[in-house]
Structure 1
Amino acid sequence: MSIVIAGATGQLGRLVVGELLQRGVPAGEIVAGGRSAEQLADLAGLGVRTASVDYNDPASVDSALSEGDTLLLISGNDIQNRTAQHETVIDAAVRAKVAHILYTSVLAADSTPIILAPDHVKAEEYILASGLPFTFLRNGWYTENYAAALAKARETGTLLGSAGEGRVASATRADYAAAIAAVLTTPGHEGRVYELSGDYAWTYEELASAFSTVLGRAVSYDSVSSAEHASALEAAGLDPATAGFLAALDGNIREDALALTTGDLARLTGRPTTPLLDGLRPLAV
């Protein structure tokens, strides 16, 4: 019986593998799965077993799973196809008779207005219908999502956004990875739904102030409407669909879709979540 990480080539997945090793899980009991063998080579060098896992290829998922395994399904980033991809992995988990499936969902998936939620709701419903023992890890926002905004602010002294006075309870990927590893290595999580987010929900004004601190230059928040935001993003070179998507995300933040603070993340990790400033500092290097 192994712990199988589906999506181990991504940033979160790699951090989860590292957390498992730090918690004393034998490397040979971890299977790091991903599409690129090259990106898994360093994990193989640590003794971690690796496997080709392509969410578009049922056979590859079948070959990575065995009866009694614990499977972490890290949600895919192919927005156009990930509902089918998630179902491919879940179906393989059913065929393999895994003992427990964990899925990385989105904060308050079943009630949030956030544009990302529908795909996650479908995945959660599909897992429930599968009958597999499950845990839903509903991740909030990553502080690292603002790396590009930070780089732009370094050049312009401005944080452009349409989030208004909405709040974001972000945490770092390392925080989320630590919580996931805790669930993977301790009992009693079957059937649980964890709403994972940072301890404090900040505004974009506070984000701009944090940018100022880590960059050592004044950064102001330029608050605009959703339409103005989308237009500005297009003018900066983004295609209309991507610009509209990003503006819609800020609109969701304006509605406080990412403001929920439950304490679940800190309780699972056994420590406070990483403060905004500390999460941003590595991005400013």
Structure 2
Amino acid sequence: MTTSSTQAPTIAVTGATGHLGRLVIHALLDRGVPAGSVAALVRDPAKAEDLAAQGVVVRHADYHRPETLAAALDGIQKLLLISSNDFDDRPGQHRNVIAAARDAGVQLLAYTSILNADTSTMQLAADHQATETILRDSGVPFALLRNGWYTENYTGNLAQSLPHGVLLGAAGDGQVTPAPREDYAEAAAAVLSTDGHANATYELGGDTPVTLADIAGEISRQTGQPYAYVNQSVPEYTAALTGLGLPGSLAAVFADSDAGIARGELSTHSGDLSRLIGRPTTPLPDAIGAALKG
């Protein structure tokens, strides 16, 4: 399914039916971008019927299938490449999109990378580092949106973890600067809908550094239930995640990311996120409160 419009889309968002992609499209519309100027690039157009109903142009695009990308990017001036959630050769998938963007004459490609990508030693950073290199070498004007951790990383499974009263991790006393997905989505929409972002790098995170113990304590305060951070070694945390049903390789990546927090690799004082969205980032208590109400 591809919707038709009297306007040709000039802004495109990949992964548009994912959590972040939908929020970016909503943020673009909230900023006054006409729906017909926005293309939602998706693997399964049937899942984007709600976006089509709002007038957003829905186009089929698959990172794994380069032959779908030329038509998807036809006429697009600005593109948000949301990093793939398929961990099988993510740089290769991203390379397909970047090459298609180059061939289509895209004027700005914004990529959702990871915070402190150029210095991070986390396993999760490697794919982003490779993609940033591909993007720089492509000649396509780019904006690197180096997203930090989402608050939802800690609030998304509260229904399962609250009864146990513990937040497990391997971050020690390391600080993280989380913000809700909605804040990162607003930043992406700002970059896509305004000028002056070519070849810019934004280190994105919440305004206030917190520890995992701080996060657990705030959840406990708001729920009135015992909820505490329990620090483990990386091997212990990997085993715990595996016991919860995560594949071993993915559990190892998540545990390694906590080790990155302990080293300070997921914290920033840049202020880039609040500057892009034109307001302070959502405070942790507010984000947790919204998650609990939801």
State whether TM-score is above 0.5: yes
Task: Kindly indicate whether residue 131 of structure 2 is the aligned counterpart of residue 123 of structure 1.
Answer: yes
Alpha-carbon displacement from aligned partner over 1:97-151 (angstroms, at most 9, x marks no partner) = 1111111111111111222111111111111111111111111110011135533
In structure 1, the partner of 2:60 is: 52
1:194 counterpart SS class:
strand
Look up the match of 1:147.
Answer: 155
In structure 2, the CA distance between the partners of 1:67 and 1:42, relative to structure 1 (3 Å rule), is closer
Q: Identify if the C-alpha distance between structure 1 residues 163 and 152 changes in structure 2 by more than 3 Å, giving closer, same or farther.
A: farther
Counterpart contact for 1:150–1:211, Cα < 8 Å: no
2:11 match: 3
How much has 1:191 moved relative to structure 2? 1.3
User: Contact 1:86/1:123 (CA < 8 Å) preserved in 2?
Assistant: yes
Look up the match of 1:157. 165
Say which SS state the counterpart of residue 116 (structure 1) adopts: helix
1:219 matches 2:233: no
8 A Cα contact 1:138 1:195, kept in partner: yes
In structure 1, give the amino acid aligned to 2:86.
D
Aligned counterpart in structure 1 of residue 93 of structure 2, from 82, 85, 96:
85
Whether the 8 Å contact between 2:10 and 2:75 is mirrored in structure 1 is no
- Residue by residue, what CA displacement relative to the aligned partner does 1:70-106 show, whole Å, maximum 9, x if unpaired? 1111111111221111000011111111111111111
Contact 1:167 1:253 in 2 (8 A): yes
Mapped to 2, the partners of 1:22 and 1:30 lie a distance apart of 12
Pairing 1:94–2:102 present: yes
1:198: Cα distance to partner? Answer: 0.5
Q: Which residue of 1 aligns with 2:35?
A: 27
1:158-197 equivalences under 5 Å are 158-197=166-205
CA contact under 8 A between 1:115 and 1:252: conserved in structure 2?
no
Shift of 1:29: 0.6
Question: TM-score normalized by structure 1?
Answer: 0.95
Aligned-residue offset at 1:53:
0.9
Offset of residue 17 of structure 1: 0.5
Secondary structure of the structure 1 residue equivalent to 2:123:
coil
| Structure 1 residue 67 displacement after superposition | 4.5
Q: Which amino acid aligns with 1:223?
A: N
Cα pair distance change 1:181/1:237, threshold 3 Å: closer
Q: CA deviation at 1:66?
A: 2.3
Partner of 2:3: none
For residue 80 of structure 2, the aligned residue among 72, 79, 87 is 72
Deviations, residues 35-71 of structure 1 (Å, cap 9, x unaligned): 1112210000001111001111112111111245211
For 1:279, the equivalent position in structure 2 comes to 287
Q: CA deviation at 1:185?
A: 1.2
Q: 2:183 corresponds to which letter in structure 1?
A: D
Alpha-carbon distance between aligned partners in 1 of 2:251 and 2:141, rounded to the nearest angstrom: 39
1:235 is displaced (CA, Å) by 3.1
Is the Cα contact below 8 Å between 1:178 and 1:269 reproduced in 2? yes
AA at the equivalent of 1:279: A
- Structure 1, residues 176-201: CA drift from partner, whole Å, max 9, x if none? 01111111111111111111110011
Of 200, 203, 212, the residue aligned with 2:211 is 203
What is the aligned counterpart of 1:235 among 220, 243, 247? 243
RMSD: 1.5
Which secondary structure state, in structure 1, belongs to the residue aligned with residue 207 of structure 2?
Answer: coil
Instruction: Report the count of equivalent residues.
Output: 285
Cα pair distance change 1:102/1:234, threshold 3 Å: closer
On the 8 A contact 2:156/2:291 being kept in 1, the answer is no
- Return the offset for 1:222: 1.3
- 5 Å-filtered alignment, 1:98-113, equals 98-113=106-121
Separation in 1 of the partners of 2:190 and 2:100? 24
Identity %: 45
Structure-2-length-normalised TM-score:
0.93
List alignment gaps of at least 5 residues for structure 2: 1-8
| Aligned-partner Cα distance in 2 for 1:71–1:172 | 22
